[in-house]
Amino acid sequence: MNVNRILVEQIDWDGTSKSIAFDNRTGNAMWIAFPNEYDEKKIGPFYFKNSLFQSQFAKQFKASLKWKLKEEQFNSSGELYFYKTQWNSIPVEINSNTYYALYLPEFAIPNSIEVTNAVFGKGVPRNVWKDLEVNRYIIYILGPHSQKSLSFKIECKFTKDKDGFSNSKYSDKFDSDFYGHPSEWKHEFDSWNLNQQSFFAQQVIINNRTQDISKKNNPWLSGSFYLFVLIVVIITIAVIAKFLPWYSLPIIVIGSILIIGVIGALQLRNDGELSEDNFIKLMVASYKRLPLLRQKSNQKKES
C-alpha cells in the first residue's frame, strides 16, 4: 500500500505513551506492507519497501519522547487495565492513505476494543494484530477517504498474561482483515483510472447500448446540418448577387460573415462548449448588426 502519513502510538505498563507522526515529504511513493504479508523482521508496525523510509522511521520513533498519561486515560482495577484516547482532525489527503497504529503494552491481551468515530459516534472498522516479534497487540486504523480528516476514540480493556500471550486471540464484529475496507480502496485505482479516462470518457451507456460520445463533437456528423445550411446560404447569396448591383456586394459579404458566426455558435452550443446565457448574448449581438446592414443599404441607394 502507498501511504502518505503514518501515526504510531505505544503505551506501556508504567502509564506512559510515546507517539510519532511520520509523513512522506520526499515526493517519492512510500510503499508499506502489513505484518501478515512477510515472515521477516520489521521495523515498527509495517514493512517499509524502501530502506530510507525504514531507517528514518526507526530513528524518529526511537527519539520520540515518553509522556505520562492521566489517570483518566490509563488506570486499572485489579488485574483489568483500562486505556482510552482520542485523536481529532488528523488531516487525510485525497488519493492518499493515512494509517494509525496503536501498540498495547507488552503481553497485554485485550478483553474489548472499541473504536468509534469522534464526530458521528459510529463504530470504525480496524485491524487487530498480535505481533509476536515484540509481544504486543497492535490496533490498525485506516483514515477514511470520504472525509478530509480523521477523528476517532479508542477505549480498550486488557489484562497482562505473559504465559498465555502466545496462544491468545482477539476478534469482534468490527475486526477485519488488512484489506477488508473495499470502500476505502477505490482511490488506489485513481492513478490508473486517470490514464484510462480518455477511453472511458468516449463511451456512455444508454439503455444498455454503448454510444461513442466523440461523435457528438465531430463537425462532419453533428455539424453536417449546419454545413449544409452554410452551402445553401452561399449559393443563395451568389444567385442574389448576380441580379443585384455591384454596390450590394459588401452587404452580402458582411451578411455571410454574420451567418457563419451564427452557425458556429449553434455548433458550439450543440457540442456543449457554449453556455445558454453566452449563446443568447452572442445571438443578440449578431442580430444587432442587422440595422447596420439596412443603414448601409440605404446609404448606397441614396448615393
The rounded distance, in Å, linking the Cα atoms of 212 and 218 is: 11
Average predicted confidence (pLDDT) for the chain: 78
Task: Judge whether residue 39 has pLDDT over 50.
Answer: yes
Residue 204 lies in a domain: no
| 128 plus 239 within the same structural domain | no
Which pLDDT does position 187 carry in this prediction?
Answer: 42
Which pLDDT score, from 0 to 100, does residue 42 have? 92
Asked if 158 and 111 count as a contact pair (C-beta separation under 8 A), the reply is: yes
Confidence band (pLDDT; 50, 70, 90) for 150?
confident
Task: Kindly indicate the confidence band of residue 142, based on its pLDDT and cuts at 50, 70 and 90.
Answer: confident
- How many domains in the chain? 2
In this structure, the strands spanning 30-33 and 47-48 are antiparallel
Question: Does residue 114 register a pLDDT over 70?
Answer: yes
**One domain for residues 34 and 118:** yes
Q: Is residue 135 in some structural domain?
A: yes
User: Grid coordinates standing for 288?
Assistant: 444587432
Q: Which three cell numbers stand for residue 164?
A: 498465555
Domain co-membership, 154 together with 7: yes
124 and 54 co-located in one domain = yes
pLDDT per residue over 200-229, tens digit each?
Answer: 444 444 444 444 444 455 555 555 666 777
Between helices 290-302 and 249-271, what is the axis angle to 10°?
A: 170
Residues 3/19, Cβ–Cβ less than 8 Å: no
Instruction: Please report, as a single letter, which amino acid is at residue 274.
Output: L
Q: Is residue 102 part of a domain?
A: yes
> Among 181, 200, 226, where does a domain finish?
181
Whether residues 45 and 147 share a domain: the answer is: yes
In a domain, 43, yes or no: yes
Q: Does 176 lie in the same domain as 41?
A: yes
Same domain, 132 and 278: no
272 falls within a domain: yes
Q: Where are the alpha helices (DSSP H) in 129-223?
A: 190-200
Question: 230-249: per-residue pLDDT in tens?
Answer: 777 777 777 776 777 766 66
Answer yes or no: do 135 and 283 share one domain: no
Of 181, 207, 228, which residue is a domain's last? 181
Range scoring the smallest mean pLDDT among 13-22, 77-86, 216-225, 263-272: 216-225
Looking at the fold, whether 169 and 238 belong to one and the same domain comes out as: no
Question: Which three three-digit cell numbers place residue 81?
Answer: 487495565
CATH number at residue 75: 2.60.40
The rounded distance, in Å, linking the Cα atoms of 236 and 234 is 5
Q: Is 112 exposed, middle or buried, given 0-12, 13-18 or 19+ CB atoms closer than 10 A?
A: exposed
The residue-averaged pLDDT of 58-78 equals: 95
Angle at 142 between CA 102 and CA 145, to 5 degrees: 150
The residue among 181, 198, 228 that closes a domain is 181
| Residue 195 domain-assigned (yes or no) | no
Q: Are 144 and 186 in contact (CB under 8 A)?
A: no
**Cα gap 141→115, rounded to integer Å:** 9
Same domain? For 123 and 224 the reply is: no
Residue 97 grid cell = 492513505
CB atoms within 10 A of CB 279: 14
Q: Helix 249-271 crosses helix 224-243 at what angle (to 10 degrees)? A: 170
pLDDT, residue 212, reads 46
Q: Could you tell me if 233 and 149 lie in one domain?
A: no
Which range of residues forms the domain containing residue 245? 217-302
202, 222, 269, 270, 272 from 217: Cα distances, Å: 11, 7, 11, 8, 9
Q: Are residues 221 and 291 in the same domain?
A: yes
In a domain, 198, yes or no: no
- Quick one: cell of 207? 439503455
Whether residue 209 lies inside any domain: the answer is no
